[in-house]
């Protein structure tokens, strides 16, 4: 008897505090429960809405309402910031209803649930990588949907975030004169995250590291790439100043000077 009671309490806990409310769990028509859940969601009572949507499935598991209620419950959990719970619900929805008309949205909401958990670049970026994978899954599966268009924008932001993490680590190694490790990080930004805003700085840092290692020719070639692709960048001007001590800023911007300098490198 005691074990049965503990099991009942555990089920109630899984459905949230509101699930124990007798007004929610009482038996009634599916339309009534579902409509009440929608009203609670619109009123901003997301915990109660989630419990009601889950009650739709519990009481009427074979109704057409139950399938949509699964997805709505996941959305309610997402709006509460309970992303792990939302992802679990969405994984279940996708597994059970792979051909449902709303499955593109389920994939999208799953990706956004990962995306919302992206941490500061100073912290571990495993969640960013998971978000990137989930967002790319949306693009690959549903390329012509509005979900894919938004996913592409968020992919760019996630990639920029990952590049930012590489820069943080690279600068850390550079400051401690661990130049080989720093080179690997900065090169990765240039090679793998070449569409992000961190590339100009990464190229400049490569120039600094090459010079610190005495690899002047490598530094000159890298500066040439920086100047060719980002001629107006302050990072290029800094790199130029490192390679040409005593040059005045006016000389850097003088017409034709950069082209002659690039040609001289090769």
Q: What is this structure's pTM?
A: 0.74
**Cβ atoms 155, 168 nearer than 8 A:** no
Tell me what pLDDT residue 6 has.
36
Residues 6+ apart with CB under 8 A from 120: none
Tell me what pLDDT residue 118 has.
85
Tell me what pLDDT residue 30 has.
85
Tell me what pLDDT residue 202 has.
96
Residue whose C-alpha is closest to residue 217's, from 182, 171, 264: 264
Tell me what pLDDT residue 3 has.
38
Distance (Å, rounded) from C-alpha 129 to C-alpha 40?
A: 34
**Cβ atoms 237, 249 nearer than 8 A:** yes
Taking residue 139's Cβ as centre, other Cβ atoms within 10 Å add up to 19
Question: 231 is written with which tokens?
Answer: 């001629």
Tell me what pLDDT residue 257 has.
37
Distance (Å, rounded) from C-alpha 165 to C-alpha 129?
A: 12
Tell me what pLDDT residue 250 has.
36
Q: What does each of the 266 residues of the chain score in pLDDT, given as a tens digit? A: 443 333 333 334 444 455 456 667 678 888 899 999 999 999 999 999 999 999 999 989 888 899 999 999 999 999 999 999 999 999 999 999 999 999 999 999 999 999 998 876 667 778 888 999 999 999 999 999 999 999 999 999 999 989 999 999 999 999 999 999 999 999 999 999 999 999 999 999 999 999 999 999 999 999 999 999 998 889 988 888 888 865 443 343 433 333 444 344 43
Distance (Å, rounded) from C-alpha 14 to C-alpha 10?
A: 6
Q: Distance between terminal CA atoms of the chain? A: 85
Residue whose C-alpha is closest to residue 94's, from 82, 111, 83, 106: 106
Q: What residue has token string 């530094």?
A: 219
**Cβ atoms 106, 86 nearer than 8 A:** no
**Cβ atoms 144, 109 nearer than 8 A:** no
């Amino acid at each position: 008897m005691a074990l049965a009671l503990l099991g009942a309490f555990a089920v109630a806990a899984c459905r949230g505090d509101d699930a124990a409310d007798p007004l929610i769990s009482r038996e009634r028509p599916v339309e009534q429960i579902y409509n009440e859940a929608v009203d609670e969601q619109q009123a901003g009572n997301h915990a109660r809405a989630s419990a009601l949507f889950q009650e739709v499935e519990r009481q009427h598991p074979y109704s057409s309402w139950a399938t949509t209620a699964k997805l709505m419950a996941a959305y309610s959990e997402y709006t509460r910031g309970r992303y792990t719970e939302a992802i679990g619900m969405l994984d279940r929805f996708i597994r059970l209803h792979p051909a449902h008309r709303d499955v593109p949205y389920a994939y999208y909401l799953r990706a956004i649930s990962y995306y919302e958990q992206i941490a500061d670049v100073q912290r571990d970026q495993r969640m960013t990588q998971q978000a990137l994978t989930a967002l790319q899954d949306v693009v690959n599966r549903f390329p012509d949907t509005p979900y894919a268009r938004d996913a592409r924008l968020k992919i760019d932001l996630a990639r920029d975030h990952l590049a930012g993490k590489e820069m943080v680590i690279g600068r850390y190694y550079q400051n401690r004169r661990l130049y080989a490790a720093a080179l690997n990080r900065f090169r990765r930004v240039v090679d793998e995250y070449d569409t992000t805003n961190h590339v100009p700085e990464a190229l400049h840092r490569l120039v600094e590291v090459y010079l610190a290692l005495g690899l002047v020719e490598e530094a000159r070639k890298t500066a040439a790439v920086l100047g060719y692709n980002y001629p107006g960048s302050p990072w290029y001007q800094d790199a130029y100043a490192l390679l040409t001590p005593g040059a005045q800023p006016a000389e850097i911007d003088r017409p034709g000077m950069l082209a002659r300098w690039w040609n001289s490198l090769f």
